Amino acid sequence: IAPSLSTPSSLSPSALRISPRRRRYASPRGASPAARWKMEAGGKDGNPLKNYRIGKTLGIGSFGKVKIAEHIKTGHKVAVKILNRRKIKNMEMEEKVKREIKILRLFMHPHIIRLYEVIEAPADIYVVMEYVKSGELFDYIVEKGRLQEEEARRFFQQIISGVQYCHRNMVVHRDLKPENLLLDNNCDVKIADFGLSNVMRDGHFLKTSCGSPNYAAPEVISGKLYAGPEVDVWSCGVILYALLCGTLPFDDENIPNLFKKIKGGIYTLPSHLSGPARDLIPRMLVVDPMKRITIREIREHPWFEAQLPRYLAVPPPDTAQQVKKIDEESLVKVISLGFDKNLLVESIHNRLQNEATVAYYLFLDNKSRTTTGYLGAGYQEAMVSYCVHLFASPDSVLIF
C-alpha cells in the first residue's frame, strides 16, 4: 500500500511507545590472558575493580547498577555495568546476557559501543564499557522534534555503517530503535543493546519474534521465517522516518491495530521531505522482505551518499589484514606504564583481555575520538572469520 501524504503529529515519549529500560549483557567467553598478566577476576586484594576509581551511579537497571569510573592507569572514563548473577538467573536472562557480551567482545567499530573488559566475581559480573554521556538518540529527537535532512542523514549514515558492520560479522541486531542508539560528546551514534541479537548462518533462518513492536518488521510480528538482515533494514527505515518526521510511521495504542498497520505497510509520508528521502523511506518499508532494499543498496542511494564522510566509505578489499596493525602511539603509552612490549603485541594480535590490552584500547579510542573520531578503515572488515569461529565454539562462553 503506497503511503499517503499528510503531516504526522510531533514525536513524544508516548509516540515512541518507550518500553521499560532493559539492558542485556551476554557473558564473556573465557579468554585466556597473556601469561604474565592475570585477568581482573578479583586480584589478591579481593577487589575486582582495583584498576578503576568508581564514581557516581549513572542508572539502575533490571540486573544492577551502572556506574561511571576512571581507569586509574590511563585516566580515561568508562562505564561499569554491575550485573547481579542472582537477578540474571532469576529472570532467566543468562543466555541473553552471554550473547551480548560475546558479540561486543568481537566488535571494533566507531559507531558500536565498545566493550573493554569483563570482570567476574562470585556475586556480580562487571562489564567495563565505553562511557557515552550524551544520552539516547530517542531523547534527542523528543527534544528537537523532526531534524533537518542534513543532520538526520549524518546520524543515518553512522547507523547504517554500524549495522553493515554487524551483518558482515554475521550478526543481526533485531532491536534497533532510538532508545538503543546512544550519542557521545561529538553527537556521534553508538549502537548498543545487543541482547536480542542473533548469529546469521548460511542456509539457516530465524523465527523468534523479538524487539519493540513499533520497529519490528512485518515478517517478525507475523512469526514467519526470516534470514536476518532484512529486519534490521526495516527498523532502520522506521528510525529514518522518526529522524525526518519527528514521529513514528506505525503507531497505535491498540496492539492488534498496530500490527495491522505494519503488516499492511499503512503509514503516511509527509510532504516536507525531499524527493530522494521520499524515495528511500518507502523502499526500506516494503512489506515483502524479498523486495526490500538491502544495506548495500541503501549505501548506493543518492540521499545516503550525499555528504558521506570519507571515513564511512566502504573499505578496500585488503583491509582485513589491517586488523593486525598496531597503533605505535598507543603502544608507546602502554609500555610507559611498565608493560612488556612483546607480550602486549602478542595479546593484541590474539585479542586477549588483560590489563595491558585494556589500557591500549582506552588510549587508542581516546586518540580516535580526539582526532578523526574513527578507529581506522582497517577495522571495518576485521574479525569476520574470527567471529564465525568463535560463535561455532561451544566453549566460548562462561557458565553461570
- What is d(CA 330, CA 335) in angstroms, rounded to the nearest whole number? 9
Annotated binding site: 81
Binding site residue list for ATP: 81
175 is catalytic: yes
**CA angle, residues 397, 133, 95, in degrees to nearest 5:** 20
Average pLDDT over residues 300-312: 94
Q: Shortest CA distance to 41 belongs to which of 130, 124, 131?
A: 124
Residue bearing the bigger pLDDT, 125 or 25: 125
pLDDT of residue 170: 79
- Report whether pLDDT(145) > 50: yes
- In this prediction, residues 323-332 reach a mean pLDDT of 83
Residues 276 and 303 sit within 8 Å (Cβ to Cβ)? yes
Q: In this predicted model, what pLDDT tens digit does every residue of 149-203 receive, in sequence order? A: 999 999 999 999 999 988 888 788 888 999 999 999 899 999 988 764 444 444 4
CA atoms of 29 and 390, how far apart (whole Å): 9
Phi, psi of 29 (to 5 degrees): -75, 160
**For residue 268, is pLDDT > 50?**
yes
Average pLDDT, rounded, for the chain: 77
Longest alpha-carbon distance in the chain: 66
Q: Between these two residues, 309 and 198, which has the higher pLDDT value?
A: 309
Q: What is the pLDDT of residue 311?
A: 87
pLDDT digits (tens, 9 = 90+) for 192-242: 887 644 444 444 444 444 557 899 999 988 887 656 889 999 999 999 999
Quote the pTM value: 0.74
Q: Which domains does the chain have, with CATH numbers?
A: 25-131+322-379 (3.30.200.20), 143-312 (1.10.510.10)
Given a contact cutoff of 8 angstroms between Cβ atoms, the answer to whether 179 and 248 are in contact is: no
Q: What is the pLDDT of residue 11?
A: 55
| CA 132 – CA 166 distance, rounded (Å) | 20
- The predicted model gives 43-54 an average pLDDT of 79
Rounded CA gap, 252 and 214, in Å? 9
Q: Do 371 and 313 form a contact (C-beta atoms < 8 A)?
A: no
pLDDT in tens, 346-386: 888 887 888 999 999 888 888 876 654 444 433 333 333 33
95-124 pLDDT tens trace: 778 877 877 787 888 899 888 999 989 999
For residue 363 the three cell numbers come to: 588510549
Comparing 32 with 26, which gets the higher pLDDT? 32
Q: Which of the residues 175, 184, 188, 251 is marked catalytic?
A: 175
Mean pLDDT, range 312-320, rounded to an integer: 53
Q: Which amino acid is at 290?
A: M
Say what the pLDDT of residue 4 is: 40
